[in-house]
A and B are shown apart, each in its own frame.
Chain A
Amino acid sequence: MSLTFLVPLFLLGLAGIVIPVVLHLTRRRRRNVVLFPSLVFLRKVPFQEQSRRRVEHWLLLALRALALGLLAVAFARPLFQNGSVAAAGGSGPREVVVLLDQSYSMGVGDAFARAVAAAGHVFDGLGPLDRASLVTFSRGARVLVRSTTDPTRLRSALDTVRVGSGVTRFGPALKVAETILEESRLPSGDVVLISDFQKNGWTGNEDVHLPAGAKLTPVDVAGTLDENVQVADVTLARQALSGRERVTPTARIVRQGGRGPRQVPVTLELEGQTVQTRTVPVPADGAASVTFAPFTLSLPHTRGAVSVPDDGLAADDARYFVASPGSAIPVSVLEGSRTGRNASLYLREALDISPDDRFTVRVRRSDEVRGEDLSGAAVLVLNDTRLDGASAQRVSRFVEAGGGVLVVLGQEASWPASAADILPGTVGGVQDPAEGQGGRLGFLDHDSPIFEVFARPRSGDFTAARFFRARAFQPADSARVLARYDDGTPALVEGYRGKGTVLVWTSTLDQFWNDLALQPVFLPFVQRMLEYLSGRGQVVPWLTAGQVLNLADPKALESAGLSSPKEAGLEPGVVPIVLSPSGSVVPLPKEGPRYLTLEDRGFYTVRPEGVEPTRPFVIAVNVDLSESKLEHLDPAELAARVTAPAGAVRAPPSGNAAELRREDLEKRQSAWRYLLYAAFGLLLLDTALSNWMSRRRKVPGPVVSRS
């Protein structure tokens, strides 16, 4: 073992050892002058000058010199290099990346504790020249410590890791590991993946390839779970009763594993108070529904939760939701007086059967639009009406103020020429798209919010509907055609006026001219269309952990359940603060997009700073239940997919690795720290010792001195 110094220049400071001696001599020359009445007696006292020049306290002098010497050596940053270190340097230090899964499935049994222990074991086994990083991951990956040789930092960071509420995604974590290894100048890399290896965390398409020479070491800490009961879903059926909303919660309970049916108590909580508990029999590997007694929803941002008793996986044992009254969309339907009876039957039924009473529908049979038709309405449906000029003007003002209008063009529909600019085009006569064979919808604009949900396969088939008649419609230049028949003529045209939107449907909404009303897509199509016209986003009772919400976006807040910005104190311009479910403040940027990542399950509270609003805005966050499916992935298969084939050699690291290693070694040893402690300890001892000596020889009394 040899001792070297990283900054040997500081050893010049050893010359400071002479400082105590110099001080000793200097202090003697600069002694105090004491005025004394007469030196008659002092002159008579025999003394030897030599004795006063002698060093009296060798111990103190040695302590001070040693302390100064230690300080100089400490600043020179000593390091010890021995044979084993040299050998380690020869084989090359490693870049170790520990990927620690913190998805909520790690909460099964003691899986997470074993994972933390495994990570600690990896850190303990680091060589003196090795660098290590700690990355936690669930849906995304977060680098807690990046490429350090300091095991204390790694240990400290490891102590802060907790089980989260996210789902397992190996891709982001492995990407981070790949990046760290590629940036590393060390010759070899080792990725330690500590997880329960949920199968749904790996699709095989992640396109992750660790650098050549890097090794992936999977550490499987999966716990066993014989049975898991979860609250899979909660629906909130709303019903208006005497001007109040009554909400009937229904929970779906899913049981995985187990044997035989089991009685599961299910509890409904509102505002943190237990309201009802129902016991429901749930078969093994089966599901059951439980419907609670309805409750009156009178306050905005009402928090609720449906829960089952804790089991091996606690994260999916509760489902949180937030509900607010008055979230239904008022729709006013004006049915033309010359049309057949029940022309709005299918439309009304489609809106009434929305599970959470999303729409309140008023239907009146008339060709005249009155004030009461528009009062309180978010959407006006003109179902095959012949409007006069006055009615058209009212509709125009309604649209300009932000209302939505759906114009259904049937046999009798007409539009006054004086208000033609309200429509996004010109209405023509009746036409037969396929000459009696029945036309079909040949084009849907899936970029439109109306058809967006139908974009995916098997999510809605519009081609099954046949259209026998339609009104010709010539779209204006500013209009946007959202749907066309297979002959190219417009089926659905969108136009804007003021703050509102006008949609023109060129066929009927009953089965008079088409059979769309008999198709399964009719209901979601109509609901999406009216939701879009209302300008309100779909309000979800909860969000999923891992989702990101822009708090600066009013639409996003409305979608997340903000129904009363005034009572929540979140009027435009207010900078909110967010409290996580654990009660800690989530830091947000003061300006620009204020993205809030919903990481934990429970209720996030959003409120203005320094103000306690009457009804703070609450966001319910639930876990993604896909993580509850404890299907296991073969770690070896994953390792084989991401590591380079055997024999691949990594390019030699660039840079002065030797210097790097010496510096790292010195940092790891931190001998300077102990030398500093020792120096300060010696100085303290010196102080105590000299004080004690001084007290021992001290004779009480005043000292008269001339400075």
Chain B
Amino acid sequence: MAALTPQRAVRPGARFLDPAVLARIDNLELLARTVVDGFLAGLHRSPYLGFSLDFAEHRQYMPGDDIRRIDWRLFARTDRHYIKLFEAETNANFVVLLDVSRSMDYTSHAVTKLDYARYLTAALCFFSRRQRDRVGLVTFDDAIVDYVPPSMKHMDTVLHVLDGIEAGRAGSLAEPLLQITELTGRKGIVVVVSDFYADTDTVFRSVALLKARGHDVIVFHVLDPAELAFPFQDASGFEDMETGEQIPVIPERLRDEYLRLLRTHTTELEERFAGSRIDYRLLDTSQPLDLALFAYLAARQRLSRTR
């Protein structure tokens, strides 16, 4: 079960990943590099060591394969042509589906959810780019806003798009994700970053479409600490950022019930995603980005083992 309050343990080097610090870096590429380099530096002392450019397996040469990748030593021993594959050379498509709906523009501290998601996306893309993946980006609210097809050369474009995104209209998952499913033909790794303000079924069905298309799907559920703890005190009118609707709220009376409903929502999402072999991570925007990177790393590791 995902915890509503993620671990706050800070590892050496992780201080560079503090979202509040990252918010001061204007250059998104520099930000991503900072995050990833700092993260990798931390990995040298991490028990998750093992992801590398090591040899993975041999595959029989098929017409169309690059003859430069034939393992000539094995050919000498076996007189057969085999292709040498390495784990790092998956050349997978890596696409981030980023929710840029109005609700993502919320913050109770230094970084909005959208900024946090932007940093996360940049870091993941940079990370994947280092693994020689083809990186792509889709931003959406109630429709697709920007689409950067996955490509080895699109890193700069992705960063440029990320740099320019703004929270826009009300969000919706079903329609945009359906369109994205149709857009992404080749299997790859799809990361969905959203606050998932929709009922559980809608969320699950929308994301499950991607999985059904054969993508490896990783879901990052981004929430602000104020959404997670509901620390409000005074009786106030609460206004929906997307619809503008207002309702009177006495926080002390609603807090427990709100937290219960939120916990139910996240728990259901985690369980249902887990049932469909979709990785789900709940992220607190006040927490360092390396938690998300660890989640991604773990997923990649698992994917590589199963490949």
A residues adjacent to B (C-beta < 8 A): 28, 31-47, 49, 51-52, 694, 697-706
Contact = CB atoms under 8 A, between A and B. Distances in A.
A38 B113 CA distance: 13
Contacts of B271: none
A701 B239 CA distance: 19
Interface centre among A31, A701, A704 (most CB of B within 10 A): A701
B51 interface: no
Given A47-B250, A52-B250, A704-B108, A40 B197 contact: yes
22 contacts: A33-B238, A33-B239, A35-B241, A36-B106, A36-B241, A37-B106, A38-B241, A39-B243, A39-B245, A43-B247, A45-B254, A45-B257, A47-B254, A49-B248, A694-B233, A699-B229, A699-B231, A699-B232, A702-B109, A704-B108, A704-B226, A706-B239
A36 B108 CA distance: 10
Contacts of A38: 103, 195, 197, 240-242
Contact of B248 (A52, A694, A706): A52
Contacts of B265: 41
Contact of A703 (B195, B233, B257, B262): B233
A37 B254 contact: no
Contacts of B251: 699
A35 B244 CA distance: 9
Nearest to B225: A701
Given A38-B241, A704-B108, A31 B232 contact: no
B235 A31 contact: yes
Contacts, number: 113
Contact of A31 (B224, B237, B254, B262): B237
A34 B237 CA distance: 6
Given A28-B235, A41-B258, A47 B240 contact: no
Contact of A42 (B195, B243, B249, B252): B249
Nearest to B250: A52
A36 B239 contact: yes
Given A37-B227, A700-B231, A702-B109, A42 B238 contact: yes
A52 B254 CA distance: 12
B233 A698 contact: yes
Given A28-B235, A702-B231, 12 more contacts: A32-B236, A34-B237, A35-B241, A36-B238, A37-B197, A38-B103, A39-B245, A52-B248, A52-B250, A699-B233, A703-B234, A704-B108
B302 interface: no
B261 interface: yes
A332 to B, nearest CB: 101
Contacts of A694: 233
A39 B246 CA distance: 8
Interface string B201-237: 0000000000000000000000011110111111111
Given A39-B245, A41-B262, A43-B247, A34 B236 contact: yes
Contacts of A40: 197-199
Contacts of A704: 106-108, 226
A35 B167 CA distance: 15
Interface centre among A32, A38, A44, A49 (most CB of B within 10 A): A38
A34 B238 contact: yes
Given A52-B250, A697-B252, A704-B108, A37 B236 contact: no
Contacts of B229: 699, 701
A37 B108 CA distance: 11
B92 to A, nearest CB: 32
Contacts of A52: 235, 248, 250
B8 interface: no
Interface residues on B, range: 35 or more
Nearest to B240: A39
Contacts of B248: 31, 49, 52
A702 B258 contact: no
A45 B261 contact: yes
B73 interface: no
B240 A44 contact: no
A257 B250 CA distance: 93
B255 interface: yes
A120 to B, nearest CB: 58
A265 B243 CA distance: 106
Nearest to A30: B237
A60 to B, nearest CB: 15
B258 A701 contact: no
A45 B239 CA distance: 15
A362 B232 CA distance: 107
Interface in B242-288: 242-243, 245-255, 257-258, 261-262, 265
A702 B106 contact: no
A44 B239 contact: no
A697 B241 contact: no
Contact of A705 (B104, B197, B236): B236
B123 to A, nearest CB: 23
Contacts of B239: 33-36, 706
A43 to B, nearest CB: 7
A34 B250 CA distance: 11
Contacts of B247: 39, 42-43
B103 A37 contact: yes
A703 B197 contact: no
A51 B230 CA distance: 21
A188 B238 CA distance: 75
Nearest to B227: A37
A699 B230 CA distance: 9
CB-based closest 5 A-B pairs: A701-B231, A37-B103, A38-B197, A37-B106, A41-B261
A32 B250 contact: no
Given A47-B253, A52-B248, A702-B108, A37 B224 contact: yes
Contacts of A697: 233, 252
Contacts of B240: 36-39
Nearest to B242: A38
A45 B258 contact: yes
A697 B224 CA distance: 22
Nearest to B170: A38
A217 B109 CA distance: 82
A697 B245 CA distance: 27
A482 B195 CA distance: 121
Contact of B238 (A39, A51, A698, A700): A39
A701 B236 contact: no
Contacts of A47: 250, 253-254
Contacts of A28: 235
A40 B262 CA distance: 10
Contacts of B104: 37
B254 A34 contact: no
Contacts of B241: 35-38
B248 to A, nearest CB: 7
Contacts of A31: 234-237, 248
B117 to A, nearest CB: 13
A705 B239 CA distance: 10
Given A47-B253, A701-B225, A42 B232 contact: no
Contacts of B226: 701-702, 704
Contacts of B224: 37
A38 B254 CA distance: 15
Interface string B95-108: 00000000110111
A707 to B, nearest CB: 12
A694 to B, nearest CB: 8
Contacts of B197: 37-38, 40
A702 B107 CA distance: 10
Contacts of A698: 233
Given A42-B254, A52-B248, A32 B234 contact: yes
Interface centre among B229, B238, B242 (most CB of A within 10 A): B238
Nearest to B197: A38
Given A33-B246, A36-B238, A703 B258 contact: no
A49 to B, nearest CB: 7
Contacts of B242: 37-38
Contacts of B252: 697, 699
A205 B198 CA distance: 111
